[in-house]
């Protein structure tokens, strides 16, 4: 009964989405307030109905209702509760339901917040959100219904892929989708602005909080995914340039560019055409990621089951949304007025450079991901892997990070670069010091590692010094500096924190890429091994039983200078229902480096086990830095200016007291 | 061309590029790599002779006759390869299946480190540094696994990481059938 309620809720949501995708447009064109209002009500209604459908599917998972096909295929009665819940989105149908749930959440949020947005623009934004909803609800109901019954119900399910039964991965998709889907709001704002034929600084301010929410969520989602790969795949790699990872990286790169160019629209009324295009492209890349993952055109470890019918349907959705958005752009973008001019060396200039580098990076990733597909059409078979990306991306990242520390120091319109560099001397000293420390700890080779650490320190110190410079730290009494710091807009804090987070993350990436120590050996009970100053003793290997798996656990005692500091217990698990083996690495972290142990196969002679031991310097900083970046995003989101009305720029400024209430 | 027309044409550019991309996607859907059999199916393996990695035994087309065996295309930079690798190791050790490795577009020292780390299921490995042999096999992407019969003909091609179900339901029955 409950699955049927979920199914009908989806059908009703589709009807509401059709209303939301049509009436507000007509209302906006005819200035009919009631029709525009209908869009808001439909958005609330959709949220209610889709939440109901989502809860219905979750209920089927929680009580292990094996008369529902989706539950049979992806769950098992013995599976821990956390993974029963996470199993809802650990498969194609359920993840599409999560997708549409997020969409309805954003739709209702646009309806509820943003009271200062002009009613016609708001109606059109909701209308576009409604149309996206129509497309995806139709897709779910026609090709990916998660509520299909199977009779007679089998006694138990097939279990979820054991690699996915992991706390890190349980919450990776919701954040990722919150990011993907969040960019739909920027898309809808861009389409709405194109229909209205008007983009002004206020538009930049309205679109900003949505982009920030989406960007922060996507950053967290990607970080969680890479963290999972790090500890679950059993050797400590954290990024593979896998097509599906690239599918999430492309909207992130484009979204990062969008965050920055929207600032120029907001503050300087410039770069408007470009920003609109970026908003359309960012969401399009999110949609393309969905297409690539689910259509089976690219093979990947993450790819969902292939169904050509679904591929065609998602391609049609991609074509309509992106094609429609870009066509509208081609027809209407000329109506957008060109705004303020600026010199190349200026805040605007730095943001243009940022956009240029991020866009080229997006293109590089796009080409690398799609090339095999494109050449396949001509009968050429190629495979593009990590070597291609590792060869190109650093050349784009180096200038990007160099400029990242300088950009926030530059004033709008025109700047004196030499003077600015003079103010950055502290960041320069920190950079030199960091390189010296790296040189002392790891030697001169590889040189790229020293360059990388220098860049990380430059970004980090530059970001912090920007705040210090603004509050005139050490140049005026400390109490005055502190009160200035309190008075700084949250947006400025957000910038610095996010940039500092990027610096931290880069240091982590550099540390583990260049200074990794590894040791593979056969260890018998009582054997000792030394890795990077840690002495590990294999004390015991014992079988154990988990809720839905059996496992073999190794017990390693870790000593430094004879003192016991930790016990590591890596496992080899066997999931009998899914018939798959997984390795669970054991990690001892000092927050500056990780000691990472994996228990392998018994050695051929039966006397010991193949053991892999790694020392990953700085690796936790990748995720620490990502979290700091997300904090920066959230700080920026809390900026007061995003909640208050935007004073309209006029030819003849009127006194603020006479400004209409917004 | 007036500047206005030029500007308008420029605005049309993203849409045009997208249409081309869309066409590729549409064709790509019909070229489903995991469903389409290799054009090499039932043909003899291409002729080649590759050196081994790190002084180990190499791989030549002549090694692929006389016995039913698997050719697994792998690379150290390929993530799905790491996923399927424990299964290959188990097959080689527990089922005694002969698996030959084709190390695709990889550095030999990286490949050796990969095998040291994850175990070496391969009877021998050919270093296909420029990917030429892989392309002759019809490799779409790594990993791929080919079933070779006694006469040295390619009988089956699996695209993507081998999962236990693929093994139980397709590869093992096929190997047993061909070995008769």
pLDDT tens for each residue of B57-104 = 889 988 998 889 999 999 887 777 887 888 898 888 888 889 999 998
Helix axes A425-442, A447-470, angle to 10 degrees: 150
Minimal CA separation from A299 to chain B, in Å = 6
CA distance B5 to A84: 58
Q: Which of B77, B111, B134 has the highest number of chain A CBs within 10 A, making it the mutation to test binding with A?
A: B77
The residue ranges of every structural domain in chain B are 1-31, 49-179
How many angstroms separate the CA atoms of B175 and B147, rounded?
Answer: 8
Structure tokens given for B44: 């003899």
pLDDT along chain A (662 residues), means of 10: 94 97 94 92 96 96 91 87 89 91 95 86 95 95 90 81 77 90 96 91 90 96 90 78 86 96 89 93 90 63 55 86 93 80 87 94 90 67 72 92 91 85 89 94 88 95 91 85 88 94 96 88 90 92 88 93 92 80 87 90 79 92 96 92 58 41 38
Burial class (CB in 10 A: 0-12, 13-18, 19+), A597: buried
What does the pLDDT read at residue A275? 93
pLDDT for position B35:
47
Measured in whole angstroms, the distance separating CA B62 from the mean position of its chain's CA atoms is 19
Which of chain A's residues have a Cβ under 8 Å away from the Cβ of B35? Answer: 296, 306
Test A299 with B141 for CB contact under 8 angstroms. yes
Give chain B's radius of gyration (CA, Å). Answer: 20
B29/A581 CB distance under 8 A: no
SS3 content of chain B, % helix, strand, coil (to 5): 45, 20, 35
Chain A contact present for B32, CB below 8 A: yes
For A561, phi and psi rounded to 5 degrees? 50, 40
Nearest CA-CA distance, residue A359 and chain B, Å: 13
Give the ipTM: 0.79
The structure's pTM equals 0.85
Helix (H) or strand (E) holding B34: none
How far apart (Å, rounded) are the C-alpha atoms in residues A508 and A114?
Answer: 39
B37 interfaces chain A, CB cutoff of 8 Å: no
Do the beta carbons of residue B102 and residue B74 sit within 8 Å?
Answer: yes
Judging by DSSP bridges, how do beta strands B99-104 and B69-74 pair with one another? parallel
% of chain B beyond a pLDDT of 90: 16
Size of interface A-B (CB pairs under 8 A): 150
* pLDDT at position B147: 92
CA dist A296 and A376 (Å) reads 14
Minimum Cα–Cα distance from B83: chain A residue: A233
Dist. CA A144–CA A309, nearest whole Å: 10
Domain parsing of chain A, residue ranges: 1-165, 169-336+347-370, 517-617
Q: In the prediction, which pLDDT does A484 show?
A: 87
Q: How far is A525 from chain B (nearest CA, A)?
A: 20
Closest CB to A297 among B15, B25, B139: B25
Predicted local confidence at residue A632, as pLDDT: 96
Phi-psi region of A91 (alpha: psi -120 to 50; beta: other; left: phi over 0): beta
The bridge status of strand B49-50 relative to strand B59-60 is antiparallel
Q: Is the pLDDT of residue B162 over 90?
A: no
| Model pLDDT, residue B1 | 61
Question: What's the CA gap between A213 and A182, in Å, rounded?
Answer: 7
Strand, coil or helix: A595 = strand
Dump the DSSP string for A262-319: HHHHHHHS-SHHHHHHHHHHHHHHHHHHHHHHHH-SS--TTPPPP-HHHHHHHHHHHI
Q: Which CATH number fits domain B49-179: 3.40.30.10, 1.25.40.10, 2.30.22.10, 3.90.320.10?
A: 3.40.30.10
CB A535 within 8 A of CB A513: no
């Amino acid at each position: 009964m409950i699955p049927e309620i979920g199914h009908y809720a989806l059908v009703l949501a589709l009807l509401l989405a059709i209303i939301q995708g049509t009436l507000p447009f007509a209302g906006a064109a005819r200035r009919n307030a009631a029709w525009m209002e209908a869009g808001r009500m439909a958005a609330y209604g959709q949220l209610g109905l889709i939440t109901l459908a989502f809860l219905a599917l979750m209920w089927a998972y929680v009580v292990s209702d094996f008369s529902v096909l989706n539950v049979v295929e992806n769950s098992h009665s013995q599976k821990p509760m956390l993974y029963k819940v996470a199993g809802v989105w650990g498969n194609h149908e359920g993840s599409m339901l999560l997708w549409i749930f997020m969409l309805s959440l954003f739709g209702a949020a646009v309806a509820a917040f943003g009271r200062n947005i002009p009613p016609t623009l708001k109606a059109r934004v909701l209308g576009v959100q409604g149309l996206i909803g129509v497309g995806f609800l139709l897709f779910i109901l026609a090709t990916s219904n998660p509520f299909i019954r199977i009779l007679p119900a089998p006694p138990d399910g097939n279990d979820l892929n054991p690699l996915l039964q992991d706390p890190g991965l349980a919450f990776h998709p919701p954040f990722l989708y919150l990011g993907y889907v969040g960019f739909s709001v920027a898309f809808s704002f861009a389409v709405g602005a194109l229909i209205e034929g008007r983009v002004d600084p206020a538009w930049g301010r309205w679109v900003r909080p949505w982009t920030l929410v989406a960007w922060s969520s996507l950053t967290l989602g990607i970080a969680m995914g890479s963290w999972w790969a790090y500890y679950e795949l059993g050797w400590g790699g954290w990024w593979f340039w896998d097509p599906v990872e690239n599918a999430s990286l492309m909207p992130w790169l484009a979204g990062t560019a969008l965050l920055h160019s929207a600032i120029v629209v907001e503050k300087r009324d410039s770069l408007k055409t470009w920003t609109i295009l970026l908003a359309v492209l960012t969401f399009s890349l999110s949609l393309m990621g969905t297409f690539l993952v689910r259509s089976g055109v690219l093979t990947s470890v993450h790819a969902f089951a292939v169904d050509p019918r679904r591929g065609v349907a998602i391609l049609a959705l991609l074509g309509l949304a992106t094609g429609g958005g870009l066509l509208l752009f081609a027809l209407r973008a000329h109506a957008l007025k060109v705004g303020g001019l600026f010199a190349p060396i200026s805040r605007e200039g730095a943001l243009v450079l940022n956009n240029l580098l991020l866009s080229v990076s997006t293109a590089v990733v796009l080409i690398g991901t799609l090339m095999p597909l494109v050449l396949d059409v001509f009968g050429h078979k190629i495979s593009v892997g990590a070597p291609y990306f590792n060869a190109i991306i650093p050349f784009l990242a180096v200038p990007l990070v160099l400029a990242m520390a300088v950009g926030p120091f530059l004033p709008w319109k025109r700047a004196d670069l030499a003077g600015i560099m003079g103010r950055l001397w502290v960041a320069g000293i920190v950079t030199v010091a960091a390189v010296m420390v790296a040189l002392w700890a790891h030697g001169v080779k590889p040189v790229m590692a020293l360059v990388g650490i220098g860049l990380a320190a430059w970004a980090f110190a530059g970001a912090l010094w920007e705040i210090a410079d603004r509050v005139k730290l050490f140049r005026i009494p400390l109490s005055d500096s502190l009160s200035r710091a309190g008075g700084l807009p949250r947006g400025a804090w957000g910038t610095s924190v996010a940039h500092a987070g990027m610096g931290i993350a880069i240091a982590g990436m550099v540390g583990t890429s260049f200074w990794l120590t590894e040791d593979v050996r056969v260890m018998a009970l009582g054997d000792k091994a030394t890795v990077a100053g840690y002495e590990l003793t294999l004390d015991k290997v014992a079988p154990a039983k988990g809720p839905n798996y059996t496992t073999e656990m190794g017990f390693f005692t870790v000593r430094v200078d004879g003192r016991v500091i930790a016990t590591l217990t890596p496992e080899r698990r066997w999931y009998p229902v899914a018939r798959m083996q997984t390795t669970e690495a054991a990690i001892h972290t000092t927050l500056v480096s990780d000691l990472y142990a994996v228990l392998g196969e018994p050695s051929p002679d039966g006397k010991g086990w193949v053991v892999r031991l790694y020392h990953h310097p700085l690796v936790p900083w990748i995720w620490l830095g990502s979290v700091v970046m997300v904090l920066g995003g959230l700080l920026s989101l809390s900026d007061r200016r995003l909640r208050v009305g935007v004073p309209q720029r006029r030819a003849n400024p009127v006194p603020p007291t006479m400004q209409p209430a917004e | 061309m007036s500047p206005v027309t030029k500007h308008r044409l420029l605005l049309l550019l993203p849409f045009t590029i997208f249409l081309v991309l869309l066409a590729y996607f549409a064709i790509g859907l019909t070229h489903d790599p995991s469903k389409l059999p290799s054009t090499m199916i039932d043909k003899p393996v291409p002729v080649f002779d590759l050196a081994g990695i790190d002084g180990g035994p190499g791989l030549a087309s002549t090694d692929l006759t006389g016995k039913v065996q698997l050719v697994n295309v792998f690379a150290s930079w390929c993530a799905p390869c790491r996923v399927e690798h424990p299964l290959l190791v188990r097959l080689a050790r527990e089922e005694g299946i002969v698996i030959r490795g084709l190390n695709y577009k990889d550095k030999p020292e990286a490949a050796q480190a990969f095998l040291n780390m994850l175990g070496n299921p391969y009877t021998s490995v050919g270093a296909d540094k420029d990917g030429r042999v892989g392309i002759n096999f019809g490799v779409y992407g790594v990993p791929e696994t080919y079933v070779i019969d006694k006469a040295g003909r390619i009988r089956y091609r699996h695209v993507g990481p081998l999962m236990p179900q693929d093994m139980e339901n397709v590869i093992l029955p096929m190997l047993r059938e061909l070995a008769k």
